[in-house]
Chain A
């Protein structure tokens, strides 16, 4: 009997397999591959919605658990489950992938079958990462994301695709091997890879710290956390748009999700100890990304650095570890995914019209020629500056206010300054590209969006507004799980404090915890 989650995870992979079996005339096979890919991704979407329906409200723990033995000799299990933290990441994935497959303008003339199969495999990898509860299973999916992404950049990327793909691959691979070693060490000590069983085990402080750092390395590169972002501008710029969206909207969430899922659960003491440093890195990323974005002349690079800044803010919410900041961080993961997907899709539409993206200053007055594209662009611009009414405001405000009440006041205050910086770079870009005198030489190519293209972006716009105006359905499901995560971590820290001398910053964490509960 195959459970909902298993079906969800492997349905896209099944689609990829079906595509691999397609034979015959290239054009026909490509057309068929497109239909197959769309069918499977839509079925996955339906399954995701069904999952949402089955998800029990108010239940903080793992739901729809599926457990089977996989490699008995090593006690490796096939263990998957969903809670309020992973639920919406799964939904984000199943919503975005069909939209991406619908993108008609992608210059994927050669080898469409391989391309579609890679997108579907990546979807399986992502879903697996968000749902796996066994460390080996998690690691397998984690690495499984890497290979399709490497191909997406390396085969269908821009001019410097080889360099970008290699850098991306090596950087992430090198750090995820550290995670693998840590997983093995955990196994050697406790004899299991089961996350649910490992939760609540205690280990020597020094070892806990090192193991956490090994995990953190993998997550920090994937997110990316400053200063581990060197692969990001190149990869975002060189990847085909669909690849960029998958990286920015979904894969970066895998890193953040990793921090959130494993940090407080497996290594509560080490995590607590590292919080000030992690917060500092996140904060630097927030401001640094925004400052660097200001002077970018290339649209994709600007969005890449802007994304570094936004992702840094989510990381801040994760590290601040207050009820508000965690709920905000999970919500903001979804929101950032939607917004950045919209932004990159718009860039793809622009690129399609102008035969590739031009530097910002080569545009001008596009709003005049393309009012529909301009209007959609404005919506995403203002979502990016976290204007109230858009989903980003809800997420970022919760993160900042949560960080503030967690007594990391300076971090919250400095982080809030991004409201000014993001307005500067987004609006400056808007002026240079969409406002200012229209350039006559652009007129011929500046076709406005077709109804179909608007329809493609419409779901993203609607979701951005919906979450901005009525986030309750999300928060209701997210919060019990983040709350439980928080309480468990605090209980573990208290437990440790009972036997060891309390380190000063752990004490801080504790008093916060009490305050939080009191409220």
Chain B
């Protein structure tokens, strides 16, 4: 446990070595440093976990101060790390899944000319994410939060000579900064209220300082949530994530699916004490979560781009996590975070394997098809991921998603539950649609030019590992013989939470019934996808025409990007142009130059001087000043 700082430092060292010396090192050495640093960090993380487990549950909190960071005028933010069950879970996901994705990248990025730059940034990201989850105060968390944003920018724009990639990187950074603007004000409020950023001091004092349901509690939590909305791509700031798919696919897997985008969920889980005091904020979190879950899923229904489909799916699944935290089911939200990390990393990496097989950057499912026989392994693991995400037992996604729906139902809000259930139908449909379009049917790629081949072992093994986690990960939650490892482990962290269902809502439906319903939802979605894309059942012409406008709306992503451009980008630009042009150059500069000319016109005698004899000016001013001085002195 004392070595938890090593987990943090190793990827940074790797990033520095590869960043400064990588161009002079062999590819083998670069990948050795990159994968090695994260792999060893994972071992240290496991060691930290074992250290925690050796302690009695209520004592599982370990902090370590490395140095004073900002100490001034009553503000004291230390560079300290916090290891508790919540950060330990994140630590394992970041280093574990991160290691697999590093390994996979060795194959996927093998041919890239900027190999060392890629790994340097991937390591830097790992460091930043670890800092985010290990921070023991809000300000240090914010440091990690911004640094992962930087790495996201760098890696989305990894192929920066592509204008679309460069634009996507910029968009991601700017849009998340809008959320971070709220986050920062939240930080100001926290400091103004508590005089500190330390988690434990804030959480300890919160119940006394903040009135339950008061404006301050609501304000702080909503502002923090604004940051989460940006980083975790929720409504209304989700627009950057689909574009972020311009980055290399392993980056999408690591940053834009498994880890960084879940930071918002982690933030709320970490600060749950504050959220418990703000029922309005909780309701907002749950509502935005479930709305995003549904809304993003509808956009995933029609896209032809396999990576964008997965991106919408990520947005949607993140919505589920927020739904969970919003109804107070923090452990369930965290479990879905972990389970989604396994499944979505698996799906993205499989998609990468498909793209690799098709010779590079093909992401359009209209030019895929029939790949099942050519890519048997990839096809199988993709199917596992799809079924898992759909919530088919006994895959890990069944447990985590079902849990969220169940707890939502028990929280007494049937509307939230219904919307969540509907989104589950959509999830199953679009995932299987994607699977069928990619791997079944006739090949739609140019068979004379493209000869698909299964990926090399260095890419396949990480897929197998993630597939295994998808299949067996449910064990973490199964509670037989009073053995529920995940929930038990997190219990001490969330002990102050009001337990969902405690208020004894009349259980209209039994737990068994709920489980059945969510599996049924998945089944319906899969069934429709099967009918439409495998059996080729076509809907009637009338129905098709009736749905045409809806399809167009979805296909154009509800025109939200266009709306934002019209609402913010264009007027903002106009304002800037007005200020820079007529106002700054016209008015302000005009006044200054006008005064100059006026003086010039007033004194014809001065004209000679005006033409540039600066020394004369200086002399005159000095003479004038001296005259005043002498006058005053002699007076």
Using a CB–CB cutoff of 8 Å, the interface residues on chain A facing chain B are 74, 147, 150, 154, 162, 165-167, 169-171, 173, 177, 180-181, 184-185, 187-188, 227, 229-231, 288, 291-292, 294-296, 305, 322-324, 326-328, 365, 367-368, 371, 382, 387-389, 393-394, 397-398, 400-402, 404-405, 409, 412-413, 416-417, 419-420, 423-424, 427-428, 430-431, 434-438, 469-472, 475, 478-479, 483, 516, 519
Assess whether A382 is in contact with B150, with CB atoms less than 8 Å apart: yes
Q: A184-B629, A323-B74 are contacts. A170–B617 as well, Cβ < 8 Å?
A: yes
Residue of B177, B180, B588, B596 contacting most chain A CB atoms (<10 Å):
B177
Q: In the complex, which of the residues A231, A371, A394, A427 contacts B173, with contact meaning CB atoms closer than 8 Å?
A: A427
Assess whether A435 is in contact with B166, with CB atoms less than 8 Å apart: yes
- The A-contacting residues of B in range 578-631, CB under 8 angstroms, are 579-580, 584, 588-589, 591-593, 596, 612, 614, 617-618, 621, 624-625, 628-629
Closest to A296 in B: B580
A479 to B70, CA, bound (A): 12
Residue of A165, A231, A371, A397 contacting most chain B CB atoms (<10 Å):
A397
- B617: A residues at CB distance < 8 A: 169-170, 173
Q: A387-B150, A420-B174, A475-B70 are contacts. A401–B633 as well, Cβ < 8 Å?
A: no
A296 to B579, CA, bound (A): 11
Q: In the complex, which of the residues B71, B157, B191, B614 contacts A475, with contact meaning CB atoms closer than 8 Å?
A: B71
- Given A162-B612, A291-B580, 20 new contacts (CB under 8 A): A147-B618, A167-B596, A173-B617, A177-B621, A184-B625, A185-B632, A230-B588, A230-B592, A288-B579, A294-B573, A324-B73, A327-B72, A327-B73, A387-B147, A400-B188, A427-B174, A435-B163, A470-B67, A471-B70, A472-B69
Write 19 A-B pairs (CB below 8 A) sorted by A numbering: A177-B621, A229-B588, A230-B588, A288-B579, A294-B572, A295-B576, A305-B580, A327-B72, A367-B160, A389-B143, A389-B147, A398-B75, A405-B188, A413-B188, A419-B177, A430-B170, A435-B160, A438-B161, A475-B71
Q: A184-B628, A427-B173 are contacts. A169–B614 as well, Cβ < 8 Å?
A: yes
Closest to B172 in A: A427
- B72: A residues at CB distance < 8 A: 323-324, 327-328, 398, 475, 478-479
Bin the interface of chain B by size.
Answer: 35 or more
Q: Does B63 contact A (CB under 8 A)?
A: no
Q: Does B62 contact A (CB under 8 A)?
A: no
Assess whether B614 is in contact with A150, with CB atoms less than 8 Å apart: yes
- B596: A residues at CB distance < 8 A: 167, 170
Assess whether B75 is in contact with A417, with CB atoms less than 8 Å apart: no
- A431: B residues at CB distance < 8 A: 163, 166-167, 169-170
Interface majority SS (helix, strand, loop, mixed), chain A: helix
Closest to A378 in B: B154
Assess whether A74 is in contact with B161, with CB atoms less than 8 Å apart: no
Q: Does B457 contact A (CB under 8 A)?
A: no
Q: A294-B576, A388-B146, A404-B192 are contacts. A394–B160 as well, Cβ < 8 Å?
A: no
Q: Does B142 contact A (CB under 8 A)?
A: yes
CB distance from B109 to the nearest CB of A (A): 17
Interface membership of chain B positions 130-167, coded 1 if the CB is closer than 8 angstroms to chain A and 0 otherwise: 00000000010011001100100100010011110011
- A398: B residues at CB distance < 8 A: 70, 72-73, 75
Q: A170-B617, A387-B146 are contacts. A177–B625 as well, Cβ < 8 Å?
A: yes
Q: A167-B592, A171-B592, A184-B629 are contacts. A402–B143 as well, Cβ < 8 Å?
A: no
* Closest 10 pairs (CB-CB, A-B): A323-B73, A435-B166, A388-B143, A435-B160, A404-B188, A324-B73, A230-B592, A292-B580, A327-B72, A427-B170
CB distance from A333 to the nearest CB of B (A): 15
A437 to B575, CA, bound (A): 29
Interface membership of chain B positions 71-84, coded 1 if the CB is closer than 8 angstroms to chain A and 0 otherwise: 11111000000000
A402 to B589, CA, bound (A): 33
Assess whether A423 is in contact with B177, with CB atoms less than 8 Å apart: yes
- B575: A residues at CB distance < 8 A: 291
Assess whether A420 is in contact with B576, with CB atoms less than 8 Å apart: no
Assess whether B70 is in contact with A419, with CB atoms less than 8 Å apart: no
Q: Does B210 contact A (CB under 8 A)?
A: no
Assess whether A423 is in contact with B174, with CB atoms less than 8 Å apart: yes
- A177: B residues at CB distance < 8 A: 621, 624-625
- B625: A residues at CB distance < 8 A: 177, 180-181, 184
A292 to B584, CA, bound (A): 8
A104 to B379, CA, bound (A): 60
CB distance from A238 to the nearest CB of B (A): 14
Q: Does B185 contact A (CB under 8 A)?
A: yes
Q: In the complex, which of the residues B181, B584, B624 contacts A420, with contact meaning CB atoms closer than 8 Å?
A: B181
Residue of B153, B173, B628 contacting most chain A CB atoms (<10 Å):
B173
